[in-house]
C-alpha cells in the first residue's frame, strides 16, 4: 500500500489523476473539485469553500484495474456497494482525512443519466465545463453548495455555441442533449430559473457578478429553446410532469 494520500483534497485529486495516468487509467474530476480546477475565482471569496469528497469520472477501458489502483493508493473500498453497483460506480474511503472518493465509470447516473466515456478525451484533469454544468444542474434537490458551484462555473467560463475555445462552456452540446431528452430539458430549464432566483438573493455577490451569471444562463436557455426537438421529446412533452422525469438518488446508509 502506498501511503501518500495528501491532506489537501485538491492536491490529492491531482495526485490521483497523475498516478492513474502512469498506470494507463483515465480519471477526470467532476463535482465541486472539478469546478474548482477550472475556475480561478474558486479560491476567492465568496466562492472559496471546504471540499469534503473527491468525485471522478473514469474511463470504462480501465474498469478492471480501478479497484486495485485505489486500494494501492491507500483507500478503503465500500465492498458491498462496489459489489452491487461497481459496473457504473465505485466508492472508497480515506478514513485518515475523513473523506470519500466517488468514481463514476463511463457514465453519470444520478437524477439524470449522462454518457461521459467519449467526453473524457476532450479535456485533461477535469471534465469539460458543459459536463460540469450538466452534472450539477441535473440535481433535483439543489443545495446551497450546488448554487455556489454553478454560479462560480458560469462566472469564470466563457459561454458559447460550439467548441471554439477549449475552456468555454458549449451551449450547443447542452441544447442538443435537452432536445433529445425531455427529462433533461425539464430539469435544466427548471433549475436555470431556480438558479437565477437564488443568485439574485445573494448579498455576497456584486450586481456585476449577478448580471454576468444571469446573462450566461439566458444564453444557455435560449440555445435550449431554439434547438429543434426530437419526436421522442415531443411525445414525452405531451405527458408532461404527470410522470416523474428524474430519479431521486437515495442517501447511502439510510
Partner 1 sequence: MAENNGSSGKDSGLFVRQATGLVRSWSVFDAFVYAFFSVNLITLGLYIFSFAPYVPDGHLVTAVVISTIFIIFLVIVYAMLVSIMPRAGGDYVIQTRILGGPLSYVLPFAGWVFILWLWVPLYGNMLSWNVFTPLLTLLGGMTGNEGLLNAAYWFNGVNGLFFSALVVCILASVVISLGMKGYARVQKFCFYLGMAGLLTVFILLLVNDRATFIERFNAFSAQIGANDNVYSQIINSSSDAGYNPIAWNNIAIAASLPLIPMVVFFNLWPNWGATLYGEVRGASEFKRNFLGMFLGLVVTGILAVILLALFNRTFGWDFYLASNFAFYEGLSPFPVFPFPGLLAAILTENPLLQLWVIISLSAWFFGWMGTVFLSSTRVLFAASFDRMLPEWVSRLNPKTRSPYNALLLMTVPSIVVSFLFYYVPGFEVLTLNATVAIAICFLGSAIAAIVLPYRKPDLYHASPVARYKVLGLPAITVCGVILAGFLLFNIVLWLYDPMGVYGVHDPYSAGFMLVLYGIAFIIYYVYKNRNKQLGIDVEKTYEEIPVE
Footprint on this chain of partner 1 (rule: CB under 8 A): 30-32, 52-53, 55, 63-64, 67, 78-81, 83-87, 89, 91, 100, 102, 104, 109-110, 135, 139, 141-147, 198, 201, 247, 249-254
Contacts of 50 (CB under 8 A, 6+ apart): none
Residue 40: CB minimum distance to partner 1, A: 23
Give least dist CB 254 to partner 1, A: 5
Helix (H, G, I), strand (E, B) or coil at 197: helix
Name the residue nearer to partner 1 (CB basis): 30 or 177.
30
Name the minimum Å distance from CB 94 to partner 1.
12
Long-range CB contacts (< 8 A, 24+ apart) of 202-210? 202/46, 202/147, 202/151, 204/45, 204/46, 205/46, 205/151, 209/151, 209/155
Nearer to partner 1, 92 or 175 (CB): 92
Shortest CB 195 distance to partner 1, Å: 11
In terms of CB distance, is 35 or 179 closer to partner 1? 35
**Spatial distance between the Cα atoms of 196 and 151, rounded to a whole number of angstroms:** 9
| Nearer to partner 1 (CB atom), residue 27 or residue 159 | 27
Residue 122: other Cβ atoms inside 10 A: 16
230 vs 247 by CB, closer to partner 1: 247
Q: With b meaning 16 or more CB within 10 Å and e meaning fewer, what string describes 15-52? A: ebbebbeeeebbbbbbbbbbbbbbbebbeeeebebebe
Amino acid at each position: 500500500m502506498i501511503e501518500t494520500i495528501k491532506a489537501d483534497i485538491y492536491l490529492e485529486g491531482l495526485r490521483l489523476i497523475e498516478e492513474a495516468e502512469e498506470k494507463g487509467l483515465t480519471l477526470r474530476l467532476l463535482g465541486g473539485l472539478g469546478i474548482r480546477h477550472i475556475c480561478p475565482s474558486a479560491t476567492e471569496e465568496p466562492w472559496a469553500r471546504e471540499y469534503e469528497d473527491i468525485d471522478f469520472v473514469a474511463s470504462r477501458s480501465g474498469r478492471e484495474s480501478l479497484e486495485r489502483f485505489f486500494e494501492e493508493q491507500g483507500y478503503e473500498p465500500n465492498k458491498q456497494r462496489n459489489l452491487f453497483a461497481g459496473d457504473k460506480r465505485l466508492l472508497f474511503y480515506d478514513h485518515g482525512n475523513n473523506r470519500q472518493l466517488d468514481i463514476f465509470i463511463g457514465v453519470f447516473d444520478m437524477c439524470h443519466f449522462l454518457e461521459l466515456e467519449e467526453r473524457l478525451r476532450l479535456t485533461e484533469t477535469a471534465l469539460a465545463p458543459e459536463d460540469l454544468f450538466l452534472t450539477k444542474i441535473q440535481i433535483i434537490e439543489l443545495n446551497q453548495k450546488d448554487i455556489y458551484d454553478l454560479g462560480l462555473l458560469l462566472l469564470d467560463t466563457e459561454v458559447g455555441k460550439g467548441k471554439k475555445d477549449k475552456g468555454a462552456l458549449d451551449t450547443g452540446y447542452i441544447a442538443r442533449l435537452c432536445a433529445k431528452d425531455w427529462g433533461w430539458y425539464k430539469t435544466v430549464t427548471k433549475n436555470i430559473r431556480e438558479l437565477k432566483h437564488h443568485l439574485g438573493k445573494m448579498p455576497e455577490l456584486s450586481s456585476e457578478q449577478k448580471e454576468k451569471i444571469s446573462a450566461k444562463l439566458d444564453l444557455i436557455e435560449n440555445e435550449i429553446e431554439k434547438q429543434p426537438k426530437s419526436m421522442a421529446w415531443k411525445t414525452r412533452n405531451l405527458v408532461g410532469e404527470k410522470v416523474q422525469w428524474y430519479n431521486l438518488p437515495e442517501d447511502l446508509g439510510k
